[in-house]
Structure 1
Amino acid sequence: MEYALVLRWLVLYAALFAAGLPLAARLLPDTRGRGVGLALPIATLLLTIPAYWVGQVAFGLPALVAGVVVLLAASLLAAADRDALRDGRLELAVSVPRRPVLDVAVVFTASFLFLVVVRAFDPAVFPVGGEKFLDYGLLKSLQRSATLPPEDMWFAGTTVKYYYGGHLVTTLFAWLTATSTQFSYNLALAGFYAMLVTAAFELAATVGEDHGLSRRVTGTFAAFFVGFASNLVTAGRFAVVLLPESVRRPTAEFVAARTDYTVAQILAGPESFSYWDASRVIPGTINEFPLFAWLNGDLHAHMTGTAFLLLAAAIGYAYFRTPEPAVRRRRALLATLPVVAGWQAVHNTWSFPSVLALGTLAVVFAPADPWTLVPGLSGVGERLADRSRLTEETARVAVALGLAVAGAAVAVVVAAPFLLGAAASGSERSVDLLGPEMRSSLGALLLVHGAFVAAFGVYLVSRLRVRRPLYLVGSLLALGYVGLDVGFAALVVSVPLVVLGWVALRGDRPVGYETVLVVAGAGLVTLVELVFVNEQAGPGRMNTVFKTYMQVWVLWATAMGVVVPGLIRGVPSGATVVSRVREAAAAGERSVVTDGSGDAAWRRPAAVVFAVLLVVSTSVYGVAAVGAHLEQGPPGGTTLDATQFVETYHPEYDEAIDWMDAREGAPVLLEAPGTKYYASGTDGRERVMYNWNANPTSSLTGLPTVAGWAHEVGYRGPDAYYARVGDVDVMYTTDDAEVRARLLREYDVRYIWVGPSERARYGDIEFDSDAISVAHQSGSVTIYEVEQEALANESTAA
């Protein structure tokens, strides 16, 4: 175990945390915690965006220095007293309370070390069960790159067509700590996880202050739900086994008919448990949640971008609680959101619209009137006051959407190099309507989101103080009937949360920003039941649900930090939470909330029981999955070395891969393509993609190969990819020396890899050319070096 490296990365995070503290305090200056848990994502953002832009010209030391300089300058400016600066004096104007800093330090360190232990028991970038080969290859490509974007290791001679922001952050952190990629992969994973948990802790703790709730209690609930909780699948499967024999099988058959599970899987019980199963619930989709994702161990964008999504939510919250007269501050807060959105376009394009949507919802639901932000519209409110409530609400939404469009334009500028380059794809994409046959069943939706839906439903109904609850129940039942009849189960699951949350927020009920997060998540769940991005990255709506549900989980888990303690505390009496937010912001003080003294005596015990059920039911997976994960470590003991598995499981490749990894620059490598498709139909490999047989050399070294994984179909389109596959096949098999020479020159091939995978695809491989000679031979691999000048001379002579 590399303890020194772990300590080195903790020192890095501590330095970034210190640099981000003044900026976080400026974001939430009138809260008890001063936003300290958001310091790391803020600092990371300010480090990375300048490095990204400078990297378009010179990636490496210049980009790193640019990022560090901008971060330190911004930190100093945020910490300094501006009036004193005008007088030529440097004085600190930001104070950070000690207790919240200690709380956040404990949460981050505990989360980081927890994930370090998890990764130390399974550190390998195995190609099976995920996209670790893609993620590791991107890291290695960035290490070799002189400019951004990096060259695509699976499509030589072209730049990567994929969002790589998380890999860029990892690379910068690796340079700052002098860490090689084989270790930075897992240490960065632990850092992103801890950053997410800490951001959720801070945002929930701060929002909880508006309800008079304990920072530690609300923050801990949020940290649990975002970092350890799971969906209800595992608890549900274990519960079915405990049912009487007469109802066990019928129940299993009922569940199997509506999910992606078989009756045998459901009835197998705990002994058949696999951490994988809980992520495949709704047929044709992927339903990941944070603990599953980090146990699986991909360094993927839907994971690494989550802390920045919560940073956007925190900026929305800062706007939400800023009083109306503070127009300049409200404008400044909204101006920062497009920067975060622009970065998310590079980091995780799927959450780019979500950042802008969070800003839109903050504007719509904030106590301050949105038209006061726009010069010339300040008098709109007075005219709307004489009209209907519907007119006023429509105007709020219209202004918010207009501001979002303006923000989107700024975000596009921030992300311009990515959007004009790496994001431009040769594959076909379209946004299509979802037919009833592709939508989720009610049972599957409840298995995935049930814990959240139950908690939010009870919370919102209790805050609305419905006078005629039977009417509400009847309406929900009617919605359910219609939803099931037309194949739109979201009418039962997420649409009611949008409606109830909207009414509560705009009806001056005792709810706060946690309800904005509820509405945001419910809106995303509803959206992916209506439309999907039709692309070649996955069949149907698989990728759309996959990338969207992680965002839903993060937003809803953070809201749970306030909702669960809020249910136990009861409904606040007296002034509403919204008015307290307004008053506290104006006074710069923490709000004080009385408890639910008017609640019935049975409500608090019932709420405690309900909270216990929520925690226990969502903990079953974590206990089982982490326990199983830690039962067996890697051969040779725990380590954070992501590539040690090569020596252990593929020793015939190990020395040859190390030899290739030591090559300077980015010489083009020829190896068998990452697809089983072959013109003659005789590829002898058992599996290709998501298997060791597909491009281990380019993936583990970052050296570009002519045609790598068939992922490239989604980036380039099938014609471009399979044309290259055909060329690779010709270079390995043709007897026409002139044709081979022409293709080797066209792709500037410098090395030819011949190993078990190539022999399985092509049989015996020989090169009768003076320009192609053996450069390395070890294990079952022979590496040939191609002399391009000699090749040109040989071709001319022929």
Structure 2
Amino acid sequence: MEYALVARWLVLYAALFALGLPLAARLLPDARGRGAGLAIPIALVVLSVLAYWVGHLAWGAIALASGVLALLVASALAGLDLGALREREIRLAVDVDRDAVTDAALVFVVGFLLVVAIRSFDPAVYPVGGEKFLDFGLLKTLRRSPVLPPEDFWFANEPVKYYYGGHLTATLLGWLAATPPKFAYNLALAGFYAALLSAAFELAGAVGADRLPSLSGLSPRRARRLAGACAVLFVGVASNLATAGRFALLALPEPLRRSAAELVAAQSQYTVDRILAGADSFSYWSASRIIPGTINEFPLFAWLNGDLHAHMIGTPTLLLAAAVGYAYYRTPESALRRRRALLFAVLPPIAAWQAVQNTWSFPSVLALGWLAAVFAPAAPATLLPAALAGRLDTDADVAADASTPARLRAEVRRVGAATLAAAVAALVAAVLASPFLLGAATGAGGRSIEFLGPAMRSGFGGLLIVHGAFVVGFAAYLLARVRVERAWALVLAVGWAAYIGHRIGFAALALSVPILVLAWVGLRASRSLGYEAVLVVAGAGLVTLVELVYVKEQAGPGRMNTVFKTYMQVWVFWGTAMGVALPGLVLGAFDRGESAGGDADPDPDSRLRHAADLPWRRAGAVGLAVLLVLSTSVYGVIAVGAHFQSAPAGGATLDATQFVETQHPGYDRAIAWIDDLEGQPTIVEAPGTGYYPGGTDGRERVMYSWHANPASSLTGVPTVAGWQHEVGYRGRAAYRERVRDVDAIYTGNATVRAELLRKYEVEYVWVGPSERARYGSVSFSGAAFEAVHRSGDVTIYAVDRDALSEP
């Protein structure tokens, strides 16, 4: 185990934490904790953004130095009193909460060490069960590239067509810590998880410190810790209900057990036998495959699986954007300059970076700004020019006319004003992200937005297994906090919606839509809800949206990729909101309508209906909270426990490529030889596809296997045609043309071979078991080819293009 490297990275993160603290304090100057848990996500964004821009001119040491300088300058400007500096006196201009700093640091270190321990038992970038070959290849090609965007290691001589910003950040961290990619992969993975947990702790804690003390005798500091800890549990440890549900079914009597299993199997990807198999059949993998035709990941699964993937890397930045929304939400209307700065100057760079880091959540960052503007007490119209603001600001009219039509008109205008403001922020973000949006993000993959038909939508059972814990928790919290004069009418409405949803194939009508509507109405009509409900709306909106539309693309059939990349965002929003909602539900049940100071609560919506209701409300709230915590924790206990039952050969390590030596002897020396090459020479190896026109590919399984481009994926040295993922980036025709050309290089005559080697500027030819399985006996002889390396079953030939046969 590389303990010295772990310590070195902790020191690096400590430095980033210290530099990010003044920036976080500027973002949330009046919040409990001063944003301490957001320090590392902020520091990573500042470090990466300028390095990214400079990297288009010179990537490497210059870009790294630019990013570090930007972070140092930004931290100094935010943290130091500039007036005092002019008097040659150093004085801090921000107030840092030391207890909050300690809490945030502790959360980060625990999260970091947890994933370090997990990865030390399973460090390998296996191609099976994920896209680690893609992620590791991006790290390696970024190390080799002289400018951005880096060359595509699966499509030689062309730039990457993928959101690589998170891998860029990991590369910067690796350079700062003087760590090669084979170790930086797992250490960066641990850092992103820890940053996610600290951000969730901070945002939920800040909101909880505002909301929870009014329900109990808790001090704001204790309320912050309670909400933050609960958010850490639901964001980083909790799972969906699949695992707990399976064990619950096994406790039923036999006839009922099988009937229930058949019902679950009909609306999920589980089989009846698998559901009833018991603990012996447990696999951490199956909990992420619930709704048919989709992938339903949650953070603990993702980090157990160990991909360094964009939808995971982008989660701390997503919560940073949510914190900007929270800062806007709690800024008074009179502070117009600050509100405009948050929405038009702070949010757009974060959104722009998220576009580079994980394009799927780029719209979500902007939507968070829109939701903050819609629900904040300040009128969104005031953000706009005076002439336009006067037409859209109707708060004064509603005060004079509180009728339902007047309120509806006011709500429409409020949403319209927020939409215009968000559009301005989106335009600024698009300009800042233009190098990526007009370059690496554009491809020939044939993407389009399509509507879902009823047959493609999720069933009620699948949605309940995946989101049920959140839906039940939020429903209880919202109903407890918002006065519902006719609760029976609400129950009937939800029941009717469930029936209609079943009839038209839109099960979300019974789950996410009621939560969305209740939270929206509660935010606009009551003072008993806060920013936690804004996060509830954000998650419910995404769940509903992916039941209506999807992105049609080559990356998986149907809406698989859309749900895959969206549900992680839902989990992060809802897990953070649950940090406030669940303690709020329990504390509210014990509240008698008095504030922490003993005065009558000025908000009548927060009072309990009748004193006689207290016993059953208390028991129900506590029982529900315990049930939700236990049911969502079963998976983590079993999955993490199983993970530590076997260590890799040779003992625990963070070396992501050690498995090559132990599991693929002979390959390791050949890959190391390629890895030692300078720059980005082009190699050719068998393409990562089983499609072979006019021939038979003897590889047993190509995609997601060792047989698919190990040389380029583990070195970052570009090959002519890599994994079939390139179909989604370049289009089917372009990829298949390259596959045919690679086939011709290995099987064509001397003239064809020479023409294609020149066309792609190939310098090395890789011949190993995969090439022989696809092409049979392969030989490269003559003056143009020299066997420069042999190990095991692999031979590498250098190509002298000047000596190739003339066409």
Residue in 1 aligned with 2:317? 308
Residue in 2 aligned with 1:272? 281
Matched-pair contact (CA < 8 Å) for 2:383–2:421: no
Change (3 A) 1:274 1:87: same
Quick one: which amino acid aligns to residue 381 of structure 2? W
Q: How does 1:215-254 map to 2 (within 5 A)?
A: 215-254=224-263
Q: CA deviation at 1:240?
A: 1.1
Change (3 A) 1:474 1:86: farther
Matched, 1:566 2:584: yes
Find the residue that maps to 2:614 and give its secondary structure: coil
Matched-pair contact (CA < 8 Å) for 1:695–1:708: yes
Residue in 2 aligned with 1:144? 144
Matched, 1:784 2:794: no
Distance 2:261 2:354 in 1: 41
Residue in 2 aligned with 1:453? 471
Q: Which of these residues, 776, 779, 782, is aligned with residue 769 of structure 1?
A: 782
Find the residue that maps to 1:264 and give its secondary structure: helix
Matched, 1:737 2:746: no
Query: Can you list the C-alpha shifts for 1:8-66, whole angstroms capped at 9, x where unaligned?
Result: 00000000000000010011111220000000000110000000000001000110010
Change (3 A) 1:673 1:433: same
Quick one: which amino acid aligns to residue 293 of structure 1? A
Find the residue that maps to 1:774 and give its secondary structure: strand
Quick one: which amino acid aligns to residue 124 of structure 2? A
Residue in 2 aligned with 1:628? 642
Find the residue that maps to 2:790 and give its secondary structure: strand
Calculate the aligned-residue CA RMSD, in Å.
1.8
More off after superposition, 718-727 vs 680-689:
680-689
Quick one: which amino acid aligns to residue 349 of structure 1? T
Q: CA deviation at 1:117?
A: 0.2
Residue in 2 aligned with 1:590? none
Matched-pair contact (CA < 8 Å) for 1:64–1:172: yes
Q: How does 1:323-362 map to 2 (within 5 A)?
A: 323-335=332-344, 336-362=346-372
Query: Can you list the C-alpha shifts for 1:209-267, whole angstroms capped at 9, x where unaligned?
Result: 11134111111000011111000000001111121112111111111111111111101
Query: Can you list the C-alpha shifts for 1:346-373, whole angstroms capped at 9, x where unaligned?
Result: 0000000000001000000001111112
Q: CA deviation at 1:89?
A: 5.4
Quick one: which amino acid aligns to residue 356 of structure 1? L
Residue in 1 aligned with 2:679? 665
Quick one: which amino acid aligns to residue 490 of structure 1? A
Residue in 2 aligned with 1:113? 113
Find the residue that maps to 1:602 and give its secondary structure: helix
Q: Which of these residues, 553, 562, 568, is aligned with residue 550 of structure 1?
A: 568
Residue in 2 aligned with 1:637? 651
Find the residue that maps to 1:210 and give its secondary structure: helix
Residue in 1 aligned with 2:510? 492
Q: Which of these residues, 348, 365, 375, is aligned with residue 375 of structure 2?
A: 365
Query: Can you list the C-alpha shifts for 1:393-451, whole angstroms capped at 9, x where unaligned?
Result: 11110011111111111111111111111001011010000000000000000000000
Quick one: which amino acid aligns to residue 194 of structure 2? A
Residue in 2 aligned with 1:76? 76
Quick one: which amino acid aligns to residue 466 of structure 2? V
More off after superposition, 769-778 vs 189-198:
769-778
Distance 1:389 1:212 in 2: 29
Change (3 A) 1:97 1:595: farther
Distance 1:80 1:597 in 2: 53
Residue in 2 aligned with 1:407? 425
Residue in 2 aligned with 1:170? 170
Matched-pair contact (CA < 8 Å) for 1:509–1:576: no
Find the residue that maps to 1:58 and give its secondary structure: coil
Distance 2:486 2:389 in 1: 39
Quick one: which amino acid aligns to residue 450 of structure 1? G
Distance 2:396 2:616 in 1: 47
Distance 1:186 1:232 in 2: 28
Matched-pair contact (CA < 8 Å) for 1:363–1:400: yes
Residue in 2 aligned with 1:321? 330
Quick one: which amino acid aligns to residue 737 of structure 2? A
TM-score (ref. length: structure 2): 0.95
Q: CA deviation at 1:465?
A: 2.1
Matched-pair contact (CA < 8 Å) for 1:212–1:594: no
More off after superposition, 421-430 vs 564-573:
564-573
Distance 1:172 1:472 in 2: 53
Change (3 A) 1:473 1:576: farther
Residue in 2 aligned with 1:535? 553
Q: CA deviation at 1:92?
A: 1.5
Q: CA deviation at 1:604?
A: 2.1
Quick one: which amino acid aligns to residue 260 of structure 2? T
Quick one: which amino acid aligns to residue 454 of structure 2? P
Residue in 1 aligned with 2:457? 439
Matched-pair contact (CA < 8 Å) for 1:522–1:552: yes
Distance 2:287 2:229 in 1: 24
Residue in 2 aligned with 1:699? 713
Residue in 1 aligned with 2:298? 289
Matched-pair contact (CA < 8 Å) for 1:569–1:596: no
Matched-pair contact (CA < 8 Å) for 1:59–1:148: yes
Quick one: which amino acid aligns to residue 478 of structure 1? W
Quick one: which amino acid aligns to residue 517 of structure 1? L
TM-score (ref. length: structure 1): 0.96
Q: CA deviation at 1:789?
A: 2.2
Residue in 2 aligned with 1:14? 14
Query: Can you list the C-alpha shifts for 1:69-126, whole angstroms capped at 9, x where unaligned?
Result: 1101010000122444576754311121111111111111011001100000000000
Distance 1:573 1:439 in 2: 44
Find the residue that maps to 1:714 and give its secondary structure: helix
Query: Can you list the C-alpha shifts for 1:377-408, whole angstroms capped at 9, x where unaligned?
Result: 45433664356111111111001111111111
Q: CA deviation at 1:625?
A: 0.4
Q: CA deviation at 1:688?
A: 0.5
Matched-pair contact (CA < 8 Å) for 1:508–1:576: no
Residue in 2 aligned with 1:586? none
Quick one: which amino acid aligns to residue 469 of structure 1? A
Q: How does 1:645-656 map to 2 (within 5 A)?
A: 645-656=659-670
Matched-pair contact (CA < 8 Å) for 1:569–1:595: no
Residue in 1 aligned with 2:772? 759
Matched, 1:416 2:434: yes
Change (3 A) 1:651 1:595: farther
Distance 1:757 1:306 in 2: 37
Q: CA deviation at 1:473?
A: 0.7
Structure 1's unaligned 5+ residue stretches are 584-592
Find the residue that maps to 1:651 and give its secondary structure: coil
Q: CA deviation at 1:573?
A: 7.0
Residue in 2 aligned with 1:614? 628
More off after superposition, 109-118 vs 235-244:
235-244
Quick one: which amino acid aligns to residue 470 of structure 2? F
Q: CA deviation at 1:596?
A: 10
Query: Can you list the C-alpha shifts for 1:307-333, whole angstroms capped at 9, x where unaligned?
Result: 000000000000001111011111111
More off after superposition, 563-572 vs 755-764:
563-572
Distance 2:742 2:20 in 1: 49
Residue-pair matches, total: 780
Q: CA deviation at 1:605?
A: 2.6
Find the residue that maps to 1:299 and give its secondary structure: coil
Distance 2:88 2:70 in 1: 21
Structure 2's unaligned 5+ residue stretches are 214-222
Matched, 1:184 2:198: no
Q: CA deviation at 1:681?
A: 3.4
Q: CA deviation at 1:790?
A: 2.2
Dislocated runs of 4+, deviation >6 Å: 571-577, 593-597
Matched-pair contact (CA < 8 Å) for 1:24–1:34: yes
Distance 2:163 2:202 in 1: 27
Residue in 1 aligned with 2:217? none
